[in-house]
Each structure stands twice: as structure tokens, then as C-alpha cells.
Amino acid sequence: MTTLASLPVTLRLGPVDLVVTDLNRSVTWYERTLGLRLHGRDSRVARLGDKSGACVVLHEDRSAAQPGNHAHLFHYCLLFDTREELARTALRIERAGGQVKCRDRHTHEAVYIDDPDGITIELAWDKPRDAWPEEPYGHAPAPLDMEGLLATVAGEEPSDVIRDAAMIGHLHFVTGGIDESIAFYRDLLGFDLKYNVGSENYAVHAAAFFSVGGYHHQVATNLLAGTGVGPFSAKVVGLKRWTIELPTPADLEETRARLESGGASVTDAERGFVVRDPWSIPLHVCS
């Protein structure tokens, strides 16, 4: 299914801004456990990423609580450019004593880990597109071939930092309705609805996956907290905002006009605007 007016297929996801309770602790963990590079920090904010720039921005709020019965970040994905980099990161996590869950998601290989505040990060490498099944999310993931993954870096010296490229691959949110998600993310914002899994009668299974250009998903929503959950709160650990980078100012203007004509809440922001979904999850759209 495709919207009449879609986002450009050349969009990319920009840095994800996260709320953490102890900036020093989180910076140490992201550097030592994940191997991200520090690109700058002050007393309340730190920017980390690969050698080309930041993809994660940490904001300290020592009073932030854990998410409750409201819309919130389920996980975000740090996508590696190569399978070898995923393997190196898995080894780095093991060396640091981290606990992981490993899954073959059929479209990509994934290693899940929680940061010190319990924010779940999916570390992933995409398989070649011709290997993707037609319906990857209608059934359970498979066990990850860890032996095969680690074999890609056999004999290498341990790496303290990410060598190859890493970027935000997707974000997954807990929300309160699949139909409302489709009405916003597809019909207003302009993503394609790639997969619609399950039913609101079986909330634990229901999810919608959105993308452009045939990708498996850049954003997803689920009903793991049931229908009718409360709005997003900025006073909890997890998401502060996420970012979409559009290729041209014309794309930015067209997207803003579409959102405003549909009644979405839009406010000015650097290089673009911030829009909120039906649960008030903030998205920064820029060019």
C-alpha cells in the first residue's frame, strides 16, 4: 500500500535523541560496550557515533522515571554497514560482560542489548534484499547463527571502537492503536505501510511497519501495552525525539504542508520542524 504523496525514497534517519539519568555512566557504557566515538559533550548532553559523525545524542535528566502505561520507545536500531562490524560489536559486548538476545529477523541479523537505563538497542546488519522473505514479520524470528556471524572476524584483534559505518536503522514505538498509526505515519507523514501484523483483538501481536523504497521498516508501532495508552511523556528515560532528514528544502515544504493540511501539530525547529504523532511522540523533520 502506498500513499498518494509519499516521502522521498532517499530520506535517511538522523540522530536519535535519548533521555538518560546519568550522563557519565551512559557515555562510558556507549563507548566501552558498543564502541561508539564521542563527538562532543557538555555537562548535560553528549553526542556519539561512528567516525563520520553522531547518531546518538544523550540528554541527562536525573529525575527521569521508567516508562509506564503510555506511549514510549520500544527500541531503536543501530544499523551497521557490514556484517563484520556487527560481529565485532557482539565480541566487544561479550568482553564487557553485557547480556544480549540474538535473533535472525529474516530481513536482518539482530543483537539486542539494554543500556544502563534499560533502553533497548537493536544492533543489526541487513541481509541482501533478494534474501528477504515476502512476509518477514508474520511469524517468529529464527535463532541467530552466532557461529557464522563471529566467523566473519575470526583472527582479528579485538576492536575498541566501531571501524565501519553505523547509522540509525529504525525506531519501534509502543502506541495505542494500529489504525491511528496508519492514519498518521502513512496517510499524513507519507511512509508506505510495509506490513500490518496481527489484530487489535490480540494486542500483544499487533504491529505496523512503515518504510520507503521497499525497505523492511524505518519506523514501527505496536500494541504491547494494549489499546488506549496515554500520551508520550518527556519525563521518562528513552526517547526525547527522533529525526528524519529529507534530501531537499522542497521535500521539507511539501511534507510540512501535507501534515498541516491534515491537522497535525507542527512547530518550527532547526533546519525544519517538529511534528507529533497521535500519542505526542516528537519527530524532527529537517533538510
Residue range 48-63, pLDDT digits in tens: 999 999 999 999 999 9
Give the global pTM: 0.95
pLDDT given for residue 228 in this prediction: 83
Cα gap 134→246, rounded to integer Å: 27
Burial 142-162 (b: 16+ CB within 10 A, else e): eebeeeebeeebeeeeeeeeb
pLDDT given for residue 202 in this prediction: 42
pLDDT given for residue 168 in this prediction: 98
pLDDT given for residue 203 in this prediction: 40
pLDDT given for residue 138 in this prediction: 64
Residue keyed to cell 537493536: 122
Three-class SS state of 152? coil
Is residue 239 within 8 A of residue 18, CB to CB? The reply is yes
Q: Which parts of the chain register pLDDT below 70?
A: 1-5, 138-139, 199-205
Residue keyed to cell 548535560: 44
pLDDT given for residue 154 in this prediction: 96
Cα R_g (the chain), whole angstroms: 18
pLDDT given for residue 40 in this prediction: 97
pLDDT given for residue 1 in this prediction: 41
Is residue 170 within 8 A of residue 16, CB to CB? The reply is no
pLDDT given for residue 141 in this prediction: 87
The predicted-structure confidence for 156-165, as pLDDT tens digits, reads as follows 998 999 999 9
Cα gap 178→175, rounded to integer Å: 8
DSSP state of 236: B
Among candidate residues 67, 74, 65, 114, the one with its CA nearest the CA of residue 224: 74
pLDDT given for residue 201 in this prediction: 47
